[in-house]
Amino acid sequence: MLIAEIQQRVGALGRNSGIANFAEAAPGIERSEAPTIERGGGSLYAPREKIYPKRAHGTFRTIKWIVMAVTLSIYYLVPWIRWDRGPYMPDQAVLIDFPSRRFFFFFLEIWPQEFYYVTGLLVLAALGLFLVTSIAGRMWCGYACPQTVWTDLMIAVERFFQGDRNQRIRLDKNPWSFETLWRKGATHFTWLLIAVATGGAWVFYFADAPTLARQLVALEAPMVAYVFIGIFTATTYLLGGIAREQVCIYMCPWPRIQGAMVDRESLLISYRAWRGEPRGPHKAGQSWEGRGDCIDCRQCVAVCPTGIDIRNGSQLECIQCALCIDACNEIMDKIGRPRSLISYDTVRHMEAAGQDMAPINFLRPRVLIYATAMAVVGIIMLTALMLRPDLEVNVLQDRNPIYVKLSDGGLRNGYTVKILNKAYEPRDFHIAVAGLPGATLSVVGQEKQANPVINVPADELQQAKVYVALDKGTAAALTGPTTEFSFVVTSADGASSAEHKTLFQGPER
Amino acid sequence: MASKKRQIETVETTGHEWDGIHELNKPLPKWWLYVFYATILWSIGYWLLMPAWPLVSSYTKGLLGYSQRERVAEQIEAGKAAKAVYREKIAASDLAAINEDPELLRFALAGGEAAFGDNCAPCHGRGAQGAFGYPNLRDDSWLWGGTLEDVQLTIQHGIRADDPKTRSPGAGMPAFGKTGVLAEPQINDVAEYVLSLSGRAEDAEAAKRGAQTFASTCAPCHGAEGKGNLAIGAPDLTDELWLYAGGKAGIAASISNGRAGMMPAWAHRLDPETIKELAIYVHSLGGGQ
């Protein structure tokens, strides 16, 4: 659809693609064939027009290879990093432990009720995305998004087996042959291998990686592991190998949001029309007077993974991967014109048509607001994580009945005291009552012990049923039906202590 | 107009125009349509394989024979199997040992709470707080003893229940007024005396008169000091807790009409492990001795 559209536009502007003349103009530059699929006239549904991205060479391609290597390495290797947490705890650095409901990240650990840390992280990620987008457009889409990384990998595989753009177009045009079959077969087989590896790596985040790896090989792993490998194999193969740019254009909501994030000072991949136009084919030796630098070689279109023409300006489909910059720079070098006909540039510079090249203002309100918000959220998160206690106490008061009258006229209240031992070793705790003079405390199961001890396993919650009683005299001295007091839970070694306020209930008076 | 616009914008439109706004022709991708068709096919497959359509008195069962009811039954069986380990331990351990093993105690308390809600709550209340005539199981006053073994025995055989080992079979506090053993003024005096046992007497003279009647008529069961007798379920009359109304009129009514609370025996309704769990649970409610 897109290429047809572009062809339409180009045609309406009365230009030819100039491909025929191009080979003469710049020897050694590969000729690009435009796909010939037409839009199904009048139909409500458009067939997909296959895109054959050409291999680009240059700075941004190199950066993208590096980013791909780094992100894929992180994805595949992180579950294998070990992190010693002592004998009672898993030693996997990053582990989402569903059975015991814990999330481990190196030196951090969160319990399910601390999910707000993840919320904070998501807020940080969103703000980071906003910040980067307002400074330099869709950097995320262009370099780091898994869809981009895996699609790039899948295209590299496709190129390895089927050749570059023109070979691939020819392969598709030619009738089916043994060559087509093995080249395509090998491509899809490799895609599936990558997809299986992707799914395989995913499940390692949720269980001890070496153990699970052995189980997977021995076919002894839990069913859910195979199911998720299957799901991720299917999605990786379909989204990365088959759907590719369709995901970015039709499925992802982010491109729609991005439009609101950029402004006139944002660095976007831009075709400098003021330098390039009027475009047209150029023969070696011809003068550059009275014409633009764009020789209409369509290399920027050929390398584009979403199949658009960047010369039509910023558009929804553009993931800003910067490959067109590399492609154009290569051509500019060959024809001896200055680089950066396509470049990271701002709308303001575009509109000034090269006249007002005042430096980009990075200290714009939106940049400052996003940066400040990030700093605030980051500091709050960091402080909260640093101050995260290794002991927490929750108290549930019995509500049915709220108090019990005793034979001597005293009162008794029941409580469930929950002790959250967030340390990585089992600990013993003592419970005491503070702020309720004369109270006697008893722990169910340890009624006869003078100083009850509650043992809590490493990184676990343990609850104790506790009764607090007042004799008649003390109960009569209470000033109202409710009296505030605290449970103080102290570890046996005295290192940690936590207090929880609660109420002692009595009759109305 | 439209065609002119189209030429200027060089983007195909659908020809639709509203107030000068043209609709660009951006057709949905074909594969999207195919995904929609695929979901329809999926639903047909689902109807065939899974229970799907309601019929008049039944429903289509599906080829896979999946049934949520069977799944529930399976899960209940699995739950029972998971509990079996603990229940065996409970069967093998005596009550004190269960109470002192934190893990077994937690299991027994959870099971006991569920069994209590199913079987005991109708009379004793969901919170075991009791009601008029139904003992509060949370306080420290017991008619038949508050040790683990006492509670277990009470649950097993009940009170005045249809059980050979039940406590106080056919007996209870006699209706001294109705049977004419005590006359109205005597009942009034004894009630006054009983009030004086917990320091609430209003008429010292009457209490003094009542003391003699109490010594001859009530003390055999309630004890000379009115402290009660656990062996026969005679309540302590000196404390501040009253199973029936504790005011003068209430006490007089008890003396006049008699009292004989009844609790069914559970040994032939619940298995021994559940009764053990119940005993542990009731003992844990605060009053356990």
Task: Spell out the domains of chain A, with CATH numbers in brackets.
Answer: 1-39+263-357 (no CATH), 50-258 (no CATH), 391-505 (2.60.40.10)
- Is B202 part of any domain? yes
Q: Is A46 on the interface with B (CB under 8 A)?
A: yes
Q: B166-193 burial by CB neighbour count: b if 16+ within 10 A, else e?
A: bbbeeebbbbbbeeeebeeebbbbbbbb
How high is the pLDDT of residue B10? 58
Which residue in the set A246, A444, A455 is minimally distant from B31, CB to CB?
Answer: A246
What are the chain A neighbours of B138 within 8 Å (beta carbons)?
Answer: 401, 404, 412, 414
CB B32 to CB A250 under 8 A? yes
pLDDT at A361: 85
B223 assigned to some structural domain = yes
Nearest to A409 by CA among B124, B198, B235: B198
Q: Tell me whether residue B208 is in a domain.
A: yes
Q: Is the peptide bond before B122 cis (omega within 30 degrees of 0)?
A: no
Contacts of B129 in chain A (CB under 8 A): 400-401, 404
Residue identified by tokens 């004190």 is: B96
Q: Give a yes or no: residue B288 inside a domain.
A: no
Q: How many residues does chain A have?
A: 509
Q: How confident is the model at residue A34 (pLDDT cuts 50, 70, 90)?
A: very low
Encoded tokens for A307: 């199949």
Question: How many Cβ atoms from other residues are within 10 Å of residue A299's Cβ?
Answer: 24
Residues 50-109 of B with CB under 8 A from A: 99-100, 102, 105, 109
A5–B contact, CB cutoff 8 A: yes
Name the closest residue on chain A to residue B97, using Cα atoms: A445
- Structural domain harbouring B211: 173-259
Confidence of residue A42 (pLDDT cuts 50, 70, 90): low
- Contact at CB, B138 and A414, closer than 8 angstroms: yes
Of the pLDDT bands very low, low, confident and very high (cuts 50, 70, 90), residue A450 is confident
Per-residue pLDDT tens digits for B174-195:
999 999 999 999 999 999 999 9
Which long-range CB contacts under 8 A does B104-110 form with residues at least 24 apart?
B105/A444, B105/A445, B105/B280, B105/B284, B107/B83, B108/B276, B108/B277, B108/B280, B108/B281, B109/A444, B109/A465, B109/B277, B109/B280, B109/B281, B109/B284
A177-199 pLDDT, tens digit per residue, is 999 999 999 999 999 999 999 99
Q: What is the pLDDT of residue A353?
A: 82
Which residue, of B49, B64, B79, is where some domain finishes? Answer: B49
| Tokens found for residue B219 | 């003390």
Instruction: Please judge whether A404 and B286 are an interchain contact, meaning their C-beta atoms are less than 8 angstroms apart.
Output: yes
Contact check, Cβ <8 Å, A404/B236:
no
A465: closest chain B residue by CA: B284
Percent of chain A whose pLDDT exceeds 90: 70
From the CA of A400, how many Å to the nearest CA of chain B?
5
The answer to whether residues A352 and A333 touch, using CB atoms and an 8 Å cutoff, is no
Total number of domains in chain B:
2
**Domain annotation covers residue B7:** yes
Query: Smallest Cβ distance to A407: which of B105, B126, B236?
Result: B236
A476 inside 8 A of chain B by CB: no
Q: What number is the average pLDDT over the span A35-41?
A: 40
Strand partners, A469: A412, A440
| A44 lies within 8 A of chain B by CB | yes
Report CB contact under 8 Å: B240, A414.
no
d(C-alpha A179, C-alpha A167), whole Å:
12
Confidence of residue A41 (pLDDT cuts 50, 70, 90): low
Residue B166: inside a domain? no
Share of chain A above pLDDT 70, in %: 92
What's the pLDDT tens digit per position in A47-81?
888 999 999 999 999 999 999 999 999 999 999 99
Q: Which residue has the higher pLDDT, B15 or B103?
A: B103
Whether B285 has its CB under 8 Å from any CB of chain A: the answer is yes
Interchain CB contact of A238 with B (< 8 Å): no
Q: Residue B222 maps to which CATH number?
A: 1.10.760.10
DSSP per residue, A305-367: TT---GGG-S-TT-----HHHHHHHHHHHHHT--S-SEEEE-HHHHHTTTS--PPP----HHH
pLDDT in tens, A133-181: 999 999 999 999 999 999 999 999 999 999 999 999 999 998 999 999 9
Q: Inform me whether the C-beta atom of residue B127 falls under 8 Å from chain A C-beta atoms.
A: yes
Contact A444 B284 (CB under 8 A): yes
Mean of pLDDT values over B34-45: 95
